[in-house]
């Protein structure tokens, strides 16, 4: 097997899904790939860069936005409002698709280790521009972190339980509540 970024990121995501972020170390990742830890540093200089790569893979689920999508950046129109809500929904889905995804995304955004600027992209869809986009991203990240923390607590308190249909209903309700919050932020900024 040839060691490259996609192979490393796939292995990192497998460790994340199985064990979580606390157990994703460069040594564990190297062991899972049957390589020396130093081989990973050729592709990712540190764990922060690796987390940026994982976040970048998560962001592949979120359609990219450019300034020309809704006209001028910050233009107030129905397409921009709907676009901002859709973008936030896709961002929430992407983040919650990976165990500890919110923590990974926060780390990647803070260290600027992703190729995409989530706030700048979303600002193109928001009447309030950068400030509204920043508020929306922080709301989605915080909400996703809350959802994932509660999910982890449920799993740890009830490790023997298999998939709980009531838990799925809770997740659906939580998602709707987060998206209602997004709509409130978008609407509140417009008034």
Summary mean pLDDT of the chain: 87
| Cβ(123)–Cβ(129) below 8 Å | yes
Residue 92 DSSP SS3? helix
150-174 pLDDT, tens digit each: 988 988 888 766 555 444 556 788 8
Q: Give the model's pLDDT for residue 117.
A: 95
Query: Which one is predicted more confidently, 158 or 20?
Result: 20
Domains annotated for the chain, with CATH where assigned, are 5-45 (1.10.10.60), 61-190 (1.10.357)
Q: Give the model's pLDDT for residue 166.
A: 43
Residue 1 DSSP SS3? coil
Q: Give the model's pLDDT for residue 128.
A: 87
* CB count in 10 Å sphere of residue 90: 15
Identify the band that residue 72 occupies on the pLDDT scale cut at 50, 70 and 90: very low
Q: Which residues, other chains included, contact 14 with Cβ-Cβ below 8 Å and sequence gap of 6+?
A: 32
Query: Which one is predicted more confidently, 131 or 189?
Result: 131
- CA 33 to the chain's CA centroid: 25
Q: Give the model's pLDDT for residue 158.
A: 84
Task: Find where tokens 């460069």 sit.
Answer: 26
- Going by C-alpha positions, the residue among 51, 2, 55 that lies closest to residue 25 is 51
């Amino acid at each position: 097997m040839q060691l490259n970024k996609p192979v490393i990121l796939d292995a990192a995501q497998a460790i994340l899904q199985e064990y979580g972020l606390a157990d994703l170390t460069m040594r564990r990742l190297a062991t899972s790939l049957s390589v020396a830890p130093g081989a990973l540093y050729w592709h990712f200089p540190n764990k922060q860069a690796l987390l940026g790569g994982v976040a970048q893979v998560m962001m592949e689920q979120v359609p990219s936005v450019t300034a020309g999508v809704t006209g001028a950046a910050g233009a107030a129109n129905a397409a921009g409002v709907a676009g901002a809500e859709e973008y936030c929904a896709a961002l929430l889905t992407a983040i919650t698709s990976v165990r500890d995804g919110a923590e990974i995304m926060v780390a990647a955004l803070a260290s600027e280790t992703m190729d995409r600027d989530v706030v700048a992209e979303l600002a193109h869809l928001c009447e309030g521009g950068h400030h509204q986009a920043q508020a929306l991203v922080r709301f989605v990240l915080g909400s996703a972190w809350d959802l994932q923390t509660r999910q982890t607590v449920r799993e740890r308190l009830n490790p023997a339980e298999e998939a709980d249909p009531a838990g799925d209903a809770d997740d659906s309700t939580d998602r709707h509540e987060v998206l209602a919050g997004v709509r409130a932020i978008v609407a509140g900024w417009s008034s």
